[in-house]
């Protein structure tokens, strides 16, 4: 059994250490004897490469880097990525990556950056003089069937923790929020929602990086990737996540 993890524009979209999500997925596969290949999907990759992944990870970027990415992620590349997500190929997209998958992003300076329109959401920067949304965040998962499937895996659905650092404010259309904010700003600091969930794609402002802090999300992504590739449901061998659990509990005690 083998999985290919697509890493979306790692040279341009790894501003906040989100490569940790890639490493987490890679190690949790290897520890279980699942073969894993990391496929960097940079500007030099062809359309055919965008069709090869079984699971995809996208990270954060500054406005300038997002513009460069969106110029490259057009036409056939965009069509292939959209086709994969619509087909239910799992992925996790943090910070700037969800903005690319939304309808558009209005930066503080410069022209509106058109997105791919995969997620029904828009992001707007309120201006350079408005404080950024920065700090630890905790939220309860609310998206279905994500909640039910994690409950089936664990017996419960833990609170997710992360760290947010974003100037843009995201507003959801007809797309499910990923979670309900317990502590922090979330999408916009107004409506109480954090992230978005569409098919098997997770969009969130939670860095940290996200998956090492919340390994049950990494395992859910791996299970869905195997299910989509091999057409079978698997029960992953349990790993010793006691340190991750203690770390998450310590953060929750500190901020909640």
Q: Which residues are catalytic?
A: 95, 207
Residue 10's alpha-carbon distances to 20, 29, 57, 58, 103, in angstroms, are 12, 20, 9, 8, 22
Write out the E strands in the chain: 2-8, 35-41, 55-58, 91-94, 104-106, 113-114, 121-124, 133-141, 160-166, 169-172, 179-183, 193-194, 196-198, 201-204
134: cis peptide before it, omega within 30°?
Answer: no
> Alpha carbon 118 to chain centroid distance?
14
For helices 215-230 and 146-154, give the axis angle rounded to 10 degrees: 110
3-state secondary structure of 9: coil
Cβ neighbours of 111 (radius 10 Å): 8
Beginning with the edge strand found earlier in the chain, give each strand of the sheet holding 91-94 in spatial order: 35-41, 2-8, 55-58, 91-94, 201-204, 196-198
């Amino acid at each position: 059994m083998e999985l290919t993890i697509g890493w979306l524009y790692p040279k341009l979209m790894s501003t906040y250490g989100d490569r940790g999500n890639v490493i987490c997925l890679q190690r949790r596969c290897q520890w279980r004897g699942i073969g894993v290949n990391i496929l960097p999907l940079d500007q030099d990759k062809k359309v055919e490469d965008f069709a090869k992944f079984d699971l995809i990870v996208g990270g954060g970027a500054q406005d300038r880097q997002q513009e460069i990415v969106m110029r490259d992620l057009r036409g056939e590349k965009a069509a292939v990525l959209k086709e994969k997500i619509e087909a239910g190929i799992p992925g996790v997209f943090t910070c700037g990556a969800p903005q690319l998958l939304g309808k558009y992003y209005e930066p503080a300076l410069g022209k509106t950056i058109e997105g791919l329109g995969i997620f029904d959401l828009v992001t707007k920067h309120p201006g350079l003089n408005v404080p950024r949304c920065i700090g630890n965040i905790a939220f309860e998962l609310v998206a279905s069937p994500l909640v039910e499937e994690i409950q089936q895996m664990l017996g419960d659905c833990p609170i997710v923790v992360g760290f947010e650092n974003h100037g843009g404010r995201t507003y959801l259309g007809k797309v499910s929020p990923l979670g309900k904010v317990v502590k922090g700003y979330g999408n916009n600091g107004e409506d109480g929602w954090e992230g978005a969930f569409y098919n098997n794609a997770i969009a969130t402002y939670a860095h940290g990086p996200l998956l090492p802090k919340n390994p049950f999300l990494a395992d859910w992504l791996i299970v869905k990737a195997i299910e989509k590739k091999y057409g079978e449901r698997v029960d992953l061998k349990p790993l010793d996540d006691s340190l991750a659990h203690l770390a998450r509990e310590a953060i929750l005690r500190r901020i909640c």
